[in-house]
Amino acid sequence: KPDGIVGSGTIDILNKGPGDRARQLAVNLERLRWLDRKPPETRIDVNTAAATLAYWRDGALRDRRNVVVGQPDWETPELGSPIFQLVAHPYWRVPKSILEDELIEKSPAYLAEQGLEWRDGRLVQLPGPKNSLGEVKFDMRNDNAIYLHDTPAKALFALPERHRSHGCIRVQDALGFAMLLASDDGVIVPFQEKLMEFDQEGFVKLKQEVPVRLMYRTAFLDDGQVRIADDIYGWDDEVAYALGYVRRPPRAKLKQAGGDVGP
């Protein structure tokens, strides 16, 4: 962040030499080797290290935007999982981990103010302006309860450091992105109809599931240029060690200020 203050992140960058960059490139080339040589022509790639999203359609880059991903200790995992449906005005069914970590001691008045209520022994947030999933959720098939979604915390997308969620992926202008996916898939009309049913959860299945790849890349190509991202999760070290580099002491995982209870 350009604040004129030499913080730990700036010092870390200044201290890196050519050997460190070579190590970082080797780690990320190894990660590329793990992937299919020919990725799906239509897909969504999320780089959780850089907190960015790229949407590919029929082999061409269709859209790019910022995302907010898991903060250290709530890391967004690396996985492949398709989006199979869009959810308009979603309910948020609060996971047990967030309930115990963030909400268990909150007063009934606070919960009511946030649109949270107990239903069948589960804390649920109703659709509305304070709902942590915003106006749309992108349902995905995986065992980690990881998905893409909207958020009322729009200001986070303008920050240079966007590792502030509890693991799920918040999408910049998620409603616009959902409209783009729905239009490309031929389900824009039913999706718009569900959006018009305010405060009522509505589901629209995609005709063709869209593969999503959640990847951690601290060195990557961007418009033909090599870009570097901070190894905020500290995941580079294990890969580097497996490649024969000297193991380094684990980095302290610093959570970013200004987080919220959303997924």
Per-residue pLDDT tens for 130-143? 999 999 999 999 99
- Computed over every residue of the chain, the mean pLDDT equals 91
In this prediction, residue 12 carries a pLDDT of 63
Q: Which of 204, 261, 216 is nearest to 85 (CA)?
A: 204
- Whether residue 120 lies inside any domain: the answer is no
- Whether residue 114 lies inside any domain: the answer is no
pTM recorded for the entire structure:
0.90
Catalytic center residues = 149, 168
Domain of 81: which CATH number? 2.40.440.10
Question: For 211-217, what is the mean pLDDT?
Answer: 98
Per residue in 3-60, pLDDT (tens digit) is 555 555 556 666 677 889 999 999 999 999 999 989 999 999 999 999 999 999 999 9
Q: What 3-state class would DSSP assign to 138? A: strand
- Whether residue 261 lies inside any domain: the answer is no
Q: What 3-state class would DSSP assign to 224? A: coil
Q: Which of 52, 51, 95, 91 is nearest to 71 (CA)?
A: 51
- Whether residue 108 lies inside any domain: the answer is no
In this prediction, residue 11 carries a pLDDT of 60
Q: CB neighbours of 101 closer than 8 A, spacing ≥ 6?
A: none
- Whether residue 31 lies inside any domain: the answer is yes
Q: How many structural domains comprise the chain?
A: 1
Confidence check: pLDDT of 255 > 90: no
- Whether residue 2 lies inside any domain: the answer is no
Q: Which structure tokens are listed for 215?
A: 């990847």
Q: Which of 39, 48, 15, 66 is nearest to 218 (CA)?
A: 48
Going through the chain in order, the beta strands assigned E by DSSP cover: 43-47, 52-57, 60-70, 79-88, 92-93, 116-119, 122-125, 136-140, 148-149, 163-165, 169-171, 202-215, 219-222, 225-228
Confidence check: pLDDT of 169 > 80: yes
- Whether residue 46 lies inside any domain: the answer is yes
Domain that holds residue 195: 8-91+127-242
Per residue in 54-82, pLDDT (tens digit) is 999 999 999 999 999 999 999 999 999 99
- Whether residue 259 lies inside any domain: the answer is no
Banded model confidence at residue 158, pLDDT cuts 50, 70, 90 = very high
Q: Which of 219, 95, 257 is nearest to 167 (CA)?
A: 95
Question: For 239-252, what is the mean pLDDT?
Answer: 89
Per residue in 159-168, pLDDT (tens digit) is 999 999 999 9
In this prediction, residue 250 carries a pLDDT of 80
**Rg (Cα) of the chain, in Å, rounded?**
20
